[in-house]
A and B are shown apart, each in its own frame.
Chain A
Amino acid sequence: MRLRLQNLDLNFGEDSVLRDLSVESGEPSVLAIVGPSGGGKSTLLRILAGLLRPSSGDVYWDDVRMSFSEKNLLAYRRRVGTVFQSFNLFPHLSAVENIALPLRTVHRFSQGDAMERAEHYLDRFQLSKHLHKKPGELSGGQRQRAAIARAMAFEPKLLFFDEPTSSLDPEMTYEVLEAIREIRNDGRDLVLVTHEINFAEEVADELWFLYDGVITEKGSPKEVIRSAASEEARRFFERVLRW
């Protein structure tokens, strides 16, 4: 993918979350966005995933301008997969129904095809024993893997992950990170907001550092993490890597 942001602004009332953001990526398959909390990472991801409209500015995917009309956003959201921090799954539906329902109603799969596809993806993420459990009966890691399975089940070219591991303990984090590695092996593109700097370094082709609504650093993960130019970025990486 090639992603270009041009003069992107986002204001919530008086607060400006993104400020005249202009940046252009290389051609990464996995793009990681990191930075301190409150810097606008999740907001930026929501704009890219078609869930939030910027106050002004443009987003280009492979030089095609993204349309922010509600009709086009709906069509766009139906082509991409999104996984959030938590509370992804619908609590009143079993794991397999969570995946099969959007396949049937949004992507027009037949009942049988939807179930088959849902079971296949749950199996891929080692959840075949838990098909008929409700989210409340699954562990945090299992829930997040089911959410990833749901985002992948209709085989989108592009996926968005918003801090998929931040509400999990280390063992479950490992499970989810393994699942993300799977996606990479599938050759799908992924934009990822994360706190896991080590993981970002390993899995991403390009890293953006977002600080106070502006991208202040970008490049290959190694470059950005080891030899950041700005004082804020150096301090941030020093702190998160110390532990």
Chain B
Amino acid sequence: MIDCRSILLRPTAAGSVVSYLGLFLGWLAALVLLAGFFSFAFFQLDYSWNWDGVWVYREKFLDGWITTLWISAVSLLLSVGIGFLVALGRSSRIYFVGSLSALYVELIRGTPFLVQILIFFYIVADGYGISNRYVVGILVLSVFAGAYIAEIFRAGFESVSSSQRESARAVGFTQSQTLRYVVLPQALRQSLPPLSGQFASLIKDSSLLSIIAVSELTLNAQEVNSFTFSAFESFLPLAIGYLILTLPVSMFSRYLEARLKHPS
């Protein structure tokens, strides 16, 4: 006979085995509930769905998705570089470097990404003669995400205690050896989970580049909508396209969190 409690409830005692049946039924119930909630809304809507139109343009979705993928990947690398340098800059002894870093972080985090894209594209990029909208898109996305990543790295640096730095000095490390062997490994460990959350955000934020006609997933979905004279059909593949990118990132983050936990 099956014990109902063990299927319904997670065990409280540490080390006891999780019921896989319970876990499976839990996920199933959650999915059914969500499906029911949206099904009701969809059936209330008096709208004739036209999925054939979307299917005809499937390659256009794929093209957009691939553009989103590589724009995100390049921006991700660039933003990590920017974030790292700015995080170091914020703790610099040179006043100017500290101020510049702080100004950058506060301005970027305090203004909407949409505004940044428009100013960069129509004023800054134009003024400096950068005409390729993909280059501008990657730069503005990297600069935007870099500010958040800088704060993540800064929190990571600050999590390394002063007694660790003193220990490093005592064993005879130079400043750069201290950074390399003691501060960075510990700071990165702290930063990885929030960093992967930021990566998921970056992927979704790339959708805003559609307003400067970067032909990524969102822009292509909007175009399909207008080609097929439909209102909603493209949004479903759009959401799925982003989930395919963001879910692995968030699963990887969960995995890292579990792996890097070291008792201190």
**Chain A residues near B (Cβ < 8 Å):** 49, 51, 74, 77-78, 82, 84, 86-92, 101-102, 105-107, 134-137, 150-151
Contacts and interface: CB of A to CB of B under 8 A. Distances in A.
B172 A87 contact: no
Contacts of A150: 171
Contacts of B169: 51, 77
10 contacts: A49-B170, A51-B169, A51-B170, A77-B170, A82-B171, A84-B166, A91-B186, A105-B181, A106-B173, A136-B262
B167 A84 contact: yes
Interface in B153-204: 161, 163-164, 166-174, 177, 181-182, 185-186, 189
B186 A84 contact: no
Contacts of A77: 169-172
Contacts of A86: 163
A134 to B, nearest CB: 6
Contacts of B263: 134, 136-137
B44 interface: no
Interface in B228-264: 262-264
A107 B189 CA distance: 27
Given A77-B169, A78-B172, A106-B177, A92 B186 contact: yes
Query: Chain A CB within 10 Å — which of B161, B168, B263 has the most?
Result: B263
Contacts of A107: 172
Contacts, number: 58
Contacts of B166: 51, 84
Q: Is the interface of A mostly helix, strand, loop or mixed?
A: loop
Contacts of A82: 170-171
Interface of B: 161, 163-164, 166-174, 177, 181-182, 185-186, 189, 262-264
A101 B166 CA distance: 16
Query: Chain B CB within 10 Å — which of A86, A90, A150 has the most?
Result: A90
B176 to A, nearest CB: 11
Given A87-B163, A136-B262, A92 B170 contact: no
A151 B172 CA distance: 11
A126 to B, nearest CB: 22
Given A84-B166, A91-B264, A92-B262, 20 more contacts: A49-B170, A51-B169, A74-B172, A77-B172, A84-B167, A89-B167, A90-B168, A90-B181, A92-B185, A92-B186, A105-B181, A106-B171, A106-B173, A107-B172, A134-B262, A135-B264, A136-B263, A137-B263, A150-B171, A151-B170
Contact of B164 (A51, A90, A102, A106): A90
User: Which 8 A-B pairs give the minimum distances between C-beta atoms?
Assistant: A136-B263, A78-B172, A82-B170, A87-B163, A102-B171, A106-B172, A92-B185, A77-B172
A87 to B, nearest CB: 4
A100 to B, nearest CB: 11
Contacts of A87: 161, 163-164, 167
A77 B172 CA distance: 5
A198 to B, nearest CB: 27
A88 B167 contact: yes
A122 B167 CA distance: 19
Contacts of A51: 166, 169-170
A170 B150 CA distance: 45
B167 A74 contact: no
A215 B186 CA distance: 40
